[in-house]
A = this chain, B = another copy of it.
Amino acid sequence: MELDYDPRKRFGAHLAALRRKRGISQERLALESGLARSYLSGVERGLRNIALVNICILAQALDMQPSELLDFRTGA
Contacts and interface: CB of A to CB of B under 8 A. Distances in A.
A60 B1 CA distance: 9
Nearest to A49: B51
A53 interface: yes
A38 to B, nearest CB: 17
A25 interface: no
Size band of the A side of the interface? 20 to 34
Interface in A7-49: 7-8, 11, 32-34, 49
Contacts of A65: 70-71, 74
Interface of A: 1, 3, 7-8, 11, 32-34, 49-53, 55-57, 59-61, 65-72, 74
